[in-house]
A and B are shown apart, each in its own frame.
Chain A
Amino acid sequence: MYTLRLIVKNSLRHKLRTSLTILGLVVAIFAFGLLQTVIDAWYAGAEGASNTTLVTRNKTSLVFPLPLSYEARIHAVAGVAGVGYANWFQGTYKDPKNFFAQFAISGASYLDIYPDYLLPHDQRAAFLRDRKGALVGRKLADQFGFKVGDVIPLKGTIYPGDWELVVRGIFDGRQSTTNTATLFLHWDYVNESLKKTLPRRANQIGVYVVRIDEPENAAAISAAIDKEFSNSLAETLTETEKAFQLGFVSMSEAIVVAIRVVSFVVIVIIAAVMANTMAMSARERLGEYATLKALGFGPGFLTAMILGESLLLSLFGAVLGIVILFPFAAFLGNVMGTLFPVFEVTRLTVLQQILAALAIGLVAAIAPALRATRVNIVEGLRSIG
């Protein structure tokens, strides 16, 4: 208890320096947490993906479609419980900056595969009835103020023309990590229009989504589906939805790696600042340490005191950094809107922040503690700080 009071008193001796150090720590721990959250947001799509859902796409690349006739053949593969399909629509809402995901989906068969989208029954029925209907996610609705009954004009980039959709339902996510920054429209609507304007591109499917009952059969069923279409005009590649989403992430992996490296660099910088502060304190107090030694306190006590002060500062800074991270992440999540559908500080991030602070505190204390324990009493008493 007495030691603790001494530590607190010591750290309060140089109020300005202490507050600057803590400020530095707050910035570092905050920045570290923020970067970690950005990385989590990057992987959120894959984390939320189910492993009882398979995605079948054209083997050559996603840009190439699959024929509509594959639906029945995939359905016939043993172990397949349901098949839906979707096309990436990519229309522009008013301005290209308002980017959000839009999928033209197969209707009930698609919605059935994703139980994480919570939608009132009457809204679901209304959507399924209206060929020009659309479903929007909660986050998207909040961002653009869409309400049921609103008309959303989209300008097609892949499917030329102007598309007018009527919002028939707004869905919520079952989990906080469910992506609700998406718009769904009817594949039939797109297809009917294509038959009139670009018949060559009609009856084509972007990806099939396949529900299977047993996750452990995923690999076998994937192989069976791909075998069904091997050596055809459109060979397929089937993988679990998680692998499919991770494929997207790995394409921008270089940026993720860069962010990760940077978040560790932050820690190193602040460890340097912190070590600096502790080194200075120790240098100034060499005389005191010598006095304490002369009074009979051992090197263990000195180390505990220095380490205690270092840890106290770093943990205090960490707590402040964590506390301000939450409102800021919420704010940033709102600002970025649909760019990152899920932007949440996870428990793991907080844990890592605390561990980082502990590491900083420990590292910073090493050099000064060594110096204090080694100080020669006579020399130390002679030194004048």
Chain B
Amino acid sequence: MKIPLFYVARNLWARRLTTALTAVGLALVVFVFATVLMLDEGLRNTLVTTGEYDNVVLIRRSADTEVQSSVERAQASIVSSHPFIALGADGRPLLSRETVVLISLNKRGSAKPSNVIIRGIGERGLALRPQVRLTAGRMFRPGASEIIAGASIARRFSGAGIGETLRFGQREWTVVGLFDAGNSGFDSEVWGDADQLMPAFRRVAYSAVVLRLAGTSLFDGFRKDIEGDQRLTLDAKREQTFYADQSKALSTFISVLGLILSVIFSIGAMIGATITMYASVANRVGEIGTLRALGFQRRSILAAFLAESMLLAVVGGVLGLGCASLMQFISFSTTNFQSFSELAFGFRLTADIVVKTLVFSLVMGFIGGVLPALRAARMKIVDALRAA
């Protein structure tokens, strides 16, 4: 015979203050657990959408980032004639020779400097990144001291808004347009004409070559050709892999920190649940005796108290998840350890995270409730009735 669920729910309601305190504790743990997962998911999402699967990035061998890399002009020309590169409508290869430098800009408001990537792109640079759209102003004109800024850069850095100017490389650069890169890493960059930026920074070599393959299956062959070519000292990576690798350290850091915090917190929350449930059992010794005397089995009592604890956890879980979902409106920016540049990303809630979080809170409820429930189920009828 099962104990009805509304009995369980009513018990929680009967001791509102205790229930609320425990649920809030659980909710905070769930909140932290969920936000860390969301942050990691947001980071991954940002970097995966930064790369196109069929795009390939070429950088100097043994360089980890575009900033460290240099690709000589001659090498770039050799690469550009490779037959596997997709051709544009005009019959020329879809390839952009790019130069990437870090400059430090001051944040709006606080005037704190942070590193921002300036990317000089070739004329195909935009065509290679279909996710990048101009949202305001216009594209920079080739040959002019004009730049366009990513959405999150324009918002956070002084001088990067449309119509404003930035000074670097002994020149003033006018921001003539803003672009939205669909929350990808490009949102944290400033783009200009590679042929203008290279002399401004006195560079004679490109940083990277980005190109589109004519077919998905051609990558392995292409990489073999590039890495086997004696004249080239370049590494080829799929753009998606390239950007995912760029943030491995940051991603690992976030998940390890999150895991440690969740474990520590959940211990606290489980203790809270245990205390609450023990008290619940202690308060109802007589009741338990009566239930047993009426014919409810030990199993049912055990199930009822476990259900109570897990219901408590679900309340906390939903509460925590609700707060966590509000975090989606906040954007988070930090320095990416590998590329050493500012990267903005958001918190992202997915169905997967919702399920994980709810399972996590149920597990906390179960572990927190199991000992008290066992105690309740083990009581002898006579003792329990006498205690009342």
Binding site for B on A (CB under 8 A): 16-17, 20-21, 23-24, 27-28, 30-31, 60-64, 90, 92, 96, 155-158, 160, 200, 233, 247, 250-255, 259, 262, 265-266, 268-270, 272-273, 275-277, 279-280, 284, 367, 385
Q: Which residue of B lies closest to A247 (CB)?
A: B113
Taking the nearest CB of chain B, how far is it from the CB of A79, in angstroms?
A: 25
Bound form: Cα–Cα A60–B173 in Å:
14
Q: Which residue of A lies closest to B116 (CB)?
A: A61
List A contacts of B165 (CB < 8 A): none
B64 within 8 A of A: yes
A-B pairs, top 4 by smallest CB distance, nearest first, are A251-B335, A273-B272, A24-B271, A254-B334
Q: Which residue of B lies closest to A248 (CB)?
A: B335
Q: Which stretch, B101-109, B217-225, B359-367, touches the partner chain A?
A: B101-109
The residue from A63, A268, A279 contacting B18, defined by CB atoms under 8 A apart: A279
Taking the nearest CB of chain B, how far is it from the CB of A276, in angstroms?
A: 5
A157 touches B103 (CB 8 A): no
What are some 8 contacts across the A-B interface (CB < 8 A)? A60-B101, A61-B101, A90-B68, A157-B62, A160-B60, A250-B113, A269-B272, A273-B22
B264 touches A27 (CB 8 A): yes
B264 touches A251 (CB 8 A): no
List A contacts of B333 (CB < 8 A): 254
Taking the nearest CB of chain B, how far is it from the CB of A169, in angstroms?
A: 28
Given A17-B278, A254-B334, A276-B22, A266 and B272 touching (CB < 8 A)? no
List B contacts of A233 (CB < 8 A): 170, 202
Bound form: Cα–Cα A42–B315 in Å:
37
The residue from B21, B32, B68, B272 contacting A24, defined by CB atoms under 8 A apart: B272
Q: Which residue of B lies closest to A91 (CB)?
A: B62
A251 touches B115 (CB 8 A): yes
Q: Which residue of A lies closest to B335 (CB)?
A: A251
Bound form: Cα–Cα A96–B272 in Å:
43
Taking the nearest CB of chain A, how far is it from the CB of B255, in angstroms?
A: 13
List B contacts of A284 (CB < 8 A): 282
A60 touches B168 (CB 8 A): yes
List A contacts of B22 (CB < 8 A): 272-273, 276
Contact with A along B275-289 (1 / 0, CB 8 A): 110110011000000
B28 within 8 A of A: yes
A272 touches B21 (CB 8 A): yes
Within 8 A of A (CB), among B250-307: 253, 257, 261, 264-265, 267-269, 271-272, 274-276, 278-279, 282-283
Bound form: Cα–Cα A277–B268 in Å:
13
A269 touches B265 (CB 8 A): yes
Additional 19 contacts, C-beta under 8 A, given A61-B104, A250-B112: A20-B274, A60-B103, A61-B115, A62-B115, A156-B62, A158-B63, A200-B204, A251-B334, A251-B335, A254-B333, A255-B334, A273-B269, A273-B271, A276-B18, A276-B22, A276-B276, A279-B17, A279-B18, A279-B21
Bound form: Cα–Cα A63–B68 in Å:
9
Bound form: Cα–Cα A268–B28 in Å:
9
List B contacts of A268 (CB < 8 A): 28
Q: Which residue of A lies closest to B338 (CB)?
A: A96
Bound form: Cα–Cα A273–B24 in Å:
9
B328 within 8 A of A: no
Bound form: Cα–Cα A367–B20 in Å:
14
Bound form: Cα–Cα A252–B275 in Å:
39
List B contacts of A275 (CB < 8 A): 21
Taking the nearest CB of chain A, how far is it from the CB of B37, in angstroms?
A: 14
Q: Which residue of B lies closest to A160 (CB)?
A: B62
Bound form: Cα–Cα A78–B145 in Å:
38
Bound form: Cα–Cα A270–B275 in Å:
12
B18 touches A269 (CB 8 A): no
Bound form: Cα–Cα A61–B170 in Å:
13
